[in-house]
Amino acid sequence: MALPVTIDSTNNPDVGEQNSYHGPFKSSGGNFYTILPGGAANSSARCYKATDPTSSFTEQDITNRPILANISSFNALSWWVFQDGDSLHLVGQSASNDVYYARFDMSSDTWVEVDIGDRDILVDTTGGTQTARAVTIGVRSTAGDIITTYQGDSDMVAGTEYERIDWNKSTAASNGAAWAGPVSIDNGGEIDWTGCVIVPGSSDRMHVFFKDLTNSDGYQRTIRADDSLETFPSSFDAVIGGTGFQYAFGAGASYDDAGTQRVRCPYRDITLGSVAKLDSSDTPTLSVDAGITANAIDGINLGTVIALAVDIKNLQLLYGDQVSDDLFRDTNDDDAGWGVDTLEWVGTFNHISPNRYDRSGIKIGLIVDDGGTVKYNEISLGGAGVTIAVPLATLSVANQVPVVASGKNIAVPVNAVSVANQAPQVGTSALVSVPLDGITEAGQVPAVASGGGGVAPADAVSIADQVPAVASGKNVKPPAGAITLADLVPAVGSSVLVLPPADAIGITDPVPRVGTSVAVAAPSDPISIADLVPQVLTDVLLLPPVDALSLSNLVPQVGTSALVLPPADAVSIADQAPAVAAGASVAPSVDSISVADQVPAVGTSVLVIVPLDAISLADLVPEIMTGVAVLPPVDAVGVIDFVPVITAGGIII
C-alpha cells in the first residue's frame, strides 16, 4: 500500500484536539506504534501497531483499552505520549479537567496494569471553570521519575478566575501508580497561564514552555533534578501565538552537541513560526530564532499546527500553512541557520506529530489529522554517511547486502545470508563482522582490503564457498566449522598468520600455500587421500597434523634451516618422508615406517633420529653424509634391511 496510510478507517480514531503528541514510535523489535483517543466521546485509549507502516496499522490489546475517566463521557482534548525504551507513557486531560495516566508495553503489545487491577490512573482532579486543556509528559533518563504538566486548579483573584499550570511526579518506584500531588509552575496573579509543553534536558532536568495568555508572553521554567524550580524567569518573547491562542507551543526536541544538551521548542509568533532555544542548565539563558517560516502558521482549536523533530543535530520544523492548510518543512543543521521552506504534502492539516527513526533509511514519521482522518506518512532524509545496520530478518536469495564506504562500519545480520547472496564489499580501513550463522552454497565471504580486518563466521562455509583473500600483513581467522569438498582455503600473502579450521579439510582440498616467514598451524585432524600438505619455504616452521598422513600423501618439502616435525603416528604405505636440506633437522615419527617407505635423504651436518621401532622389510635406512650422526633404532633391524652406508667422517652407533 502506498503512503499515506489511514490508521483505522473502520473505527475512525481521533487526535488530541489541543496540545497533543502521538509519535509515531519505533520499538526495539522494529515495529511502529501510535496511541490515539477513540470510542464514545474519545473516552478510550487505542494503541495501533504496524510491522510495515507503509501498509497498515492494527489495534493492539483491545480487551484492555484504558478508559481515561471514571465515566464514559471523557473527551480527550489534550493527549501526550512519551517513549521510554519499549514503554509508551500516556497522559490525557478531559473536558471535565481530570488528568489520567496509562502505559503501553511495546515488547508484549499489551496495556500495562499500572496498579493492581487498574490500567487507567487518576493523576489529578482539577477544579474551576477553566477552558484550557493542556498535558505533556516526560521521563527522567537517570532517576526514572515520570513528570507531567497540565492545566491545574484555577485560582480566584479579586473575584475573577484564572487559568493555572501544575506539575506532578510519580517516582520510578511508583511507576505511575501513585502521584506526589500538584505543584504550581506558573507565577500566579491576575493572569491566565496555558499551553504547557515539556522538553527533556540534561541531568534529569525538564524544561517547561508555556504562555501568559493574558499578555501573550512566552516563558520557560526549569524543573531541576532535585524537584526544585528555577526562579521564575522573565519572558523570552513578548508577543506569541496571537490573541486567544491558548496553545502557542508545539512538540519540541533536544539533542547532544559535544556534551551540551541543546533544547528547542517551536511556537507561533504572532503569525509566523519561531523556535525558542536554550542549552540545558538549572537556570538557562533563552534566545529565539524568530519568524523563520515563509508562511503563517495555521491555528486549530485555539492551538497551532507546528512541531519539531531532530535527526542527530539537524532540526526538522514541520508546520501547517494558514492559507493552504498544506504541510511545509524547514531545516536547520547544527544551528547553521534555517533554510528554504519546502512543500511536503498537500492536504488539510489540523494536527502534526513527527518523530525521527531509521526505517530502511532515516525517516521523519508523521501522525497527522488530514481533514478529520488520522493518517501516517513519512519524509525520507536518506542515509548517506551513516553507519549501516542491516535488518535482523533474513536476507534471501539474490539479495545484495550493503556496499560500505571507506572508514565506515557495517553490522551484518546475525541470521542467514542465503544462496547467491553477496557479502559486503568493504573499503579500506573498514571493519566487517560477518554473521555468526551459515553462509550457504555459493555465498562469498568478504573481500578484505589492505588495512582491514575480517572475522569469518563461526560456522560452516559450505560447498564451493571461498574463504577470504587476505592482503599482505593481515590476519584472517577462517571458521571453526567444516570447509568441505572442493573448498579453497586462503591464499595467504607474505608475513601473514593463517589459522585454518580446527576440523577436517576433506578429500582433494589443497591446504594453504604459505609465503616466506610464515607460520602455519595445520588442522588437528586427518589430511586424507591425495591431499597436498603445505609447501614450506625458507625459515618456516611447519607443524603437520598429529594424526595420520594416509595413502599417497606427500609430506612437506622442507627448505634450508627449516624444522619439520612429521606426525606422531604412522606414515603408511608408499608415503614419502621428508626430503631434508643441508642444515635442517627432521624427527621422523615414533612408530612404524612400513613397507616400501623411504626414510629421509639427509644432507650435510644433519642429525637424523631414526624411529624407536622396527625398520621393516625392504626399508631403506638413511644414507649418511660426512659429519652426520645416525642413531639407529633400539629394536631389531629386520630381514633384508639396509643399514647405513657411512661416508668419511660419519659416525654410526
pLDDT in tens, 68-95: 765 444 566 788 999 999 999 999 988 7
Position 42 scores a pLDDT of 65
Higher pLDDT, 402 or 279: 279
Higher pLDDT, 613 or 340: 340
Position 107 scores a pLDDT of 98
Q: Environment class of residue 275 by beta-carbon count within 10 Å: exposed (0-12), middle (13-18) or buried (19+)?
A: buried
Q: If you ran DSSP here, which 8-state letter would residue 394 be given? A: -
- pLDDT-based confidence at residue 414 (cuts at 50, 70, 90): very low
Residue 356, strand partner residues: 364
| Tens digits of residue pLDDT in 206-247 | 999 999 999 999 999 999 999 999 999 999 998 887 667 788
pLDDT above 60: residue 640: no
| Amino acid, single-letter form, for residue 632 | P
Tell me, rounded to whole angstroms, the distance of Cα 448 from its chain centroid.
23
- Contact between residue 328 and residue 319 where contact means Cβ atoms under 8 Å apart: yes
- pLDDT-based confidence at residue 97 (cuts at 50, 70, 90): confident
Strands (DSSP E) contained in 442-562 are 453-455, 475-477, 497-498, 519-521, 541-543
Among 167, 153, 133, residue whose Cα is nearest residue 17: 133
Average pLDDT over residues 458-465: 36
3-class SS at 42? helix
Q: What contacts 14, CB < 8 A, 6 or more positions away? A: 36, 37, 38, 42, 76, 369, 374
Choose the weakest-confidence range: 388-392, 495-499, 520-524, 533-537. 388-392
pLDDT above 80: residue 44: yes
Q: How far apart are CA 377 and CA 251, in angstroms?
A: 18
Q: What contacts 557, CB < 8 A, 6 or more positions away? A: 535, 536, 578, 579
Average pLDDT over residues 395-415: 43
| Amino acid, single-letter form, for residue 634 | V
Among 19, 23, 426, residue whose Cα is nearest residue 248: 19
| pTM higher than 0.85 | no
pLDDT above 60: residue 476: no
Other beta carbons within 10 Å of 520? 22
- pLDDT-based confidence at residue 133 (cuts at 50, 70, 90): confident
What residue has cell string 544551528? 335
Sheet holding 314-320, edge to edge: 306-311, 314-320, 327-333, 342-345
Q: Which three cell numbers stand for residue 21?
A: 503528541
Among 355, 372, 376, 353, residue whose Cα is nearest residue 51: 376
pLDDT above 90: residue 329: yes
The CA distances from residue 450 to 431, 453, 524, 529, in Å, are 11, 8, 30, 36
